[in-house]
């Protein structure tokens, strides 16, 4: 799916700004044929939750309504006009001038609809009804129930089956873009790199509407100089002396695609891409032939006031803070992030593990590992969850959206699912197959596993290319006891390595809640001293394990969660506060990470030869 942008043949109208807003109390029906019966406003894009002083709005479960008005410049009227939502969380019904024009379920991926047939000459009223309900059929997963109040009205209850606040609303940009009537529908780019020759065969597939009869593709280097040209909707071009897209050293080419009709140029679109090769081999994650070491974070889209809403200055700051610390990567825990963030990472050379919103796929929580170790252990998860259809949809949508991004190095199919329970393999196998089939760049796939799933209990490790572990020894298991944690961490990693020697291992979560400003002479849990001791302990073990190729800690910053006795205004495992002030541990990690090279930190002998060849070029 193409990102909406202006080109010589396309215009863009941004509908950001103040929209009318109301929660639906479900007392009186709301008629989308009429203007919304409210004068209250909310800012778009952003979550609605933290923009008012009302607890009722903040914690509302059910439906909310948005409305804005726009008109279309006369010059654009003859064009094909597409209304596009960066996301609408979690389910949307869209009405234009009172008519329902589209519906989309899933709160973290874009969708669009052609609006020409519904437009008025003058003012147009765009109304959106949203639901923030999550249940056992949605991703993320929510524990949902209903009751009735004393007046007989339905009261909806949602207990999130995950550890982040259920922010919702029109959280990403809403835009209208124009294309000519005959237009370029999609572009797929696959670079096949020959590292020895410093060349690449770049495949470019273009989907076009029926009216176009020819396509010309010009490849431009990062300075905009043409380096190759080819025509046809299914073309391939060989580039020599290529500049590789490397972690923290990005280089972007672009494919300028021109669509023709009877020899006349009709539509143009320019898609950026990087040339890089990703392989998983012999317990290593190779980036352009060299062993890559992930240094970075699990994150959230979470900031004050914006909630989960698009906040570009904070995105820029976060990437700058990462680079300053010597970090090179993050995971889009626990849902696809905004397209703008992916485009930023393409430019900055930040490596992204791109995660679906599959979080909460676990019916029970129990650290009694001896029960789990029984071969036929089964909890209720795979009988209760009805998420397979939603899961397929999000895999399709995330790959469709992000397939060309150079920054995306791996797909994460789920976070902390009940992979230790009978039924998990049957559930996940088709999803991994689907992702592998759909991804034109055939990136590695993984899921991040919960501690209850270990080398003995996890039933799905055969499905992953990289073992990605969320581990909390010293925090949730043996809180405060770093000596025991060190041994447990080492033993577990060695066991994984021995059992699956060909699969590289990374940590996708490890961390300790830390209250900024809380200090302790005794390094007690929750203090900044404990957080630093905890990370020092983990780092020591990581460096001992040859197949351990990456540390993504939990979390980049403190973030908002649902209420809970373990959460004081949210999760405090950030190494930065929610407003991005550093906790003490940042200095330690900066020293560690700036000393660890992005490529070649843990080199095995055969890749050493390959690496030498490359560096002597
Ligand atoms: C893991 C989850 C993550 C939580 C984290 C924690 O993947 O979403 O926020 O633990 O408890 O279970 O801090």
Whether ligand 1 lies within 6 angstroms of the CB of 449 is answered as no
Token pair of 530, please? 């404990």
Q: Which atom of ligand 1 is nearest to the CA of 162?
A: 8
Q: Which two tokens stand for residue 35?
A: 């203007």
Chain position carrying tokens 């088709």: 430
Q: Which two tokens stand for residue 330?
A: 């993050």
Q: Are 32 and 121 found together in one domain?
A: yes
CATH number at residue 26: 2.60.120.260
What are the tens digits of pLDDT across the range 413-434? 999 999 999 999 999 999 999 9
Q: Are residues 257 and 360 both part of a single domain?
A: no
C-alpha 319/C-alpha 373 separation (Å) is 41
At 496-527, the pLDDT tens digits run 999 999 999 999 999 999 999 999 999 999 99
| The three-state (H, E, C) secondary structure of 31-97, written as one string | CCCCCCCCCCEEEECCCCCCCCCCHHHHCCCCEEEEEEEECCCHHHCCCEEEEEECCCECEEEEEEC
- Whether 42 and 78 map to the same domain: the answer is yes
Report the nearest atom of ligand 1 relative to the CA of 450: 12
Q: For residue 41, count other CB atoms closer than 10 A to its CB.
A: 16
Q: Which long-range contacts (CB under 8 A, 24 or more apart) does 481-487 make?
A: 482/533, 482/534, 482/537, 485/534, 485/537, 486/537, 486/540, 486/541
Same domain, 420 and 482: no
- Together in a domain, 350 and 463: yes
Q: What is the pLDDT of residue 371?
A: 75
The reply to whether 320 falls in a domain is: no
How many percent of the chain have pLDDT more than 70? 97
At 571-583, the pLDDT tens digits run 999 999 999 999 9
**Residue 599 CA to ligand 1 centre (angstroms):** 29
Q: What is the mean pLDDT of residues 32-58?
A: 98
- Within a domain: residue 206? yes
Cα torsion at 604, 605, 610, 613 (round to 10°)?
A: 120
- Among 450, 470, 490, the domain boundary falls at 470
Give the closest residue (by CA) to ligand 1 atom 2: 163
- DSSP letter for 463, please: G
Asked, for residue 397, whether it belongs to a domain, the answer is yes
Domain presence at residue 315: no
Average pLDDT over residues 596-602: 97
DSSP codes, 105-124: E-TTS-EEEE-GGG--SS-E
Is 447 domain-assigned? yes
SS3 154: strand
Q: How do residues 522-566 score in pLDDT, each as one tens digit?
A: 999 999 999 999 999 999 999 999 999 999 999 999 999 999 999
Atom in ligand 1 nearest the alpha carbon of residue 416: 7
Q: What is the pLDDT of residue 585?
A: 98
The C-alpha atoms of residue 463 and residue 405 are separated, in whole angstroms, by 23
Has residue 316 been placed in a domain? Answer: no
CB atoms within 10 A of CB 545: 17
> Same domain, yes or no, for 201 and 96?
no
Distance 163 CA to ligand 1 centre (A): 6
Residue in 308, 470, 567 to alter for ligand 1 test, most ligand atoms within 8 A of Cβ: 470
- 585-595 helix and 312-325 helix, angle to the nearest 10 degrees: 60
On whether residue 310 sits in a domain, the answer given is: no
User: Is the same domain home to 486 and 612?
Assistant: yes
68 lines ligand 1 (CB under 6 A): no
Give the mean pLDDT of the chain: 96
Query: Is residue 361 in some structural domain?
Result: yes
Nearest residue (CA) to ligand 1, atom 3: 163
Q: What is the pLDDT of residues 104-150, one digit of tens each?
A: 999 999 999 999 999 999 999 999 999 999 999 999 999 999 999 99
The answer to whether residues 488 and 609 belong to one domain is yes
CATH code of residue 448: 3.20.20.80
218 and 164 in a common domain: no
pLDDT at 367: 61
Residue 219 to residue 387: CA distance in whole angstroms: 41
pLDDT digits (tens, 9 = 90+) for 207-258: 999 999 999 999 999 999 999 999 999 999 999 999 999 999 999 999 999 9
- How many Å apart are CA 489 and CA 501, to the nearest integer? 17
- What amino acid positions are annotated as catalytic residues? 416, 509
| Mean pLDDT value across residues 473-489 | 97
Asked if 86 and 174 touch (Cβ cutoff 8 Å), the reply is yes
CATH of residue 236's domain is 2.60.40.10
Q: Compute, in degrees rounded to 10, the torsion defined by CA atoms 592, 595, 599, 605.
A: -100
pLDDT in the model for residue 607: 56
For residues 380 and 305, the model is more confident at 305
| Torsion sign across C-alpha atoms 555, 288, 398, 414 | negative
Residues 459 and 340 in one domain: yes
Q: Number of folded domains in the chain?
A: 4
Averaged pLDDT for residues 36-54? 98
Cα-atom radius of gyration of the chain, to the nearest Å?
A: 25
End-to-end CA distance of the chain: 37
From the list 20, 67, 162, 170, the residue with the least C-alpha distance to 110 is 170
What residue numbers bound the domain in which 250 lies? 184-273
């Amino acid at each position: 799916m193409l990102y909406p942008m202006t080109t010589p043949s396309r215009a863009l109208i941004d509908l950001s700004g103040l929209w009318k807003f109301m929660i639906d109390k479900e007392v009186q029906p709301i008629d989308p044929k009429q203007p919304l019966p409210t004068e209250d406003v909310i800012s778009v894009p952003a979550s609605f939750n933290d923009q008012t002083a009302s607890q009722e709005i903040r914690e509302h479960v059910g439906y909310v309504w948005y409305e804005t008005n726009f008109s279309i410049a006369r010059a654009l009227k003859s064009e094909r006009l597409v209304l596009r939502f960066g996301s609408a969380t979690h389910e949307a019904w869209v009405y234009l001038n009172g008519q329902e024009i589209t519906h989309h379920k899933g709160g973290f991926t874009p969708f669009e609809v052609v609006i020409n047939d519904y437009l008025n000459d003058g003012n147009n009223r765009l109304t959106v009804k949203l639901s923030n309900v999550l249940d056992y059929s949605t991703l993320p997963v929510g524990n949902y129930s209903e009751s009735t109040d004393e007046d007989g009205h339905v009261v909806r209850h949602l207990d999130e089956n995950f550890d982040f606040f259920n922010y919702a609303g029109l959280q990403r940009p809403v835009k209208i873009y124009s294309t000519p009537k005959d237009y370029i529908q999609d572009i797929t780019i696959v670079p096949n790199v020959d590292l020895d020759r410093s060349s690449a065969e770049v495949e470019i597939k273009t989907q076009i509407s029926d009216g176009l009869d020819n396509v010309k593709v010009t490849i431009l280097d990062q300075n905009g100089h043409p380096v190759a040209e080819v025509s046809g909707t299914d073309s391939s071009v060989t580039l020599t002396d290529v500049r590789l897209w490397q972690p923290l050293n990005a280089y972007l080419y672009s494919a300028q695609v021109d669509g023709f009709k009877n020899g006349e140029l009709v539509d143009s679109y320019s898609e950026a891409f990087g040339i890089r090769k990703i392989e998983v081999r012999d317990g290593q994650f190779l980036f352009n032939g060299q062993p890559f070491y992930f240094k970075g974070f699990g994150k959230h889209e979470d900031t004050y006031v914006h909630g989960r809403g698009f906040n570009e200055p904070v995105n820029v700051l976060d990437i700058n803070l990462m680079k300053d610390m010597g970090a090179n990567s993050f995971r889009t825990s626990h849902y696809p992030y905004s397209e703008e963030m992916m485009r930023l990472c393409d430019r900055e050379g930040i490596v992204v593990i791109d995660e679906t919103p599959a979080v909460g796929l676990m019916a029970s929580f129990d650290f009694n590992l001896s029960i789990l170790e029984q071969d036929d252990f089964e909890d209720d998860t795979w009988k209760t969850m009805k998420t397979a259809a939603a899961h397929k949809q999000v895999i399709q949508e995330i790959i469709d959206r992000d397939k060309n991004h150079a920054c995306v190095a791996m797909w994460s199919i789920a976070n902390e699912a009940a992979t230790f329970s009978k039924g998990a393999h049957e559930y996940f196998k088709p999803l991994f197959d689907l992702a592998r089939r759909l991804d034109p760049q055939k990136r590695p796939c993984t899921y991040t596993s919960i501690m209850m799933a270990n080398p003995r209990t996890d039933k799905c490790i055969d499905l992953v290319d990289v073992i990605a572990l969320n581990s909390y020894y010293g925090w949730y298991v043996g809180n405060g006891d770093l000596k025991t944690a060190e041994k447990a961490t080492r033993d577990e990693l060695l066991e994984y390595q021995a059992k699956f020697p060909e699969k590289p291992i990374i940590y996708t979560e490890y961390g300790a809640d830390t209250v900024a400003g809380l200090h302790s002479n005794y390094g007690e849990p929750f203090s900044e001293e404990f957080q630093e001791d905890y990370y020092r302990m983990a780092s020591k073990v990581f460096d001992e394990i040859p197949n351990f190729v990456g540390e993504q800690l939990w979390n980049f910053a403190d973030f908002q969660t649902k209420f809970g006795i373990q959460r004081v205004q949210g999760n405090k495992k950030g190494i930065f506060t929610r407003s991005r002030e550093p906790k003490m541990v940042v200095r330690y990690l900066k020293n560690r990470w700036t000393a660890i090279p992005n490529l070649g930190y843990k080199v095995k002998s055969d890749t050493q030869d390959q690496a030498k060849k490359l560096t002597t070029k």
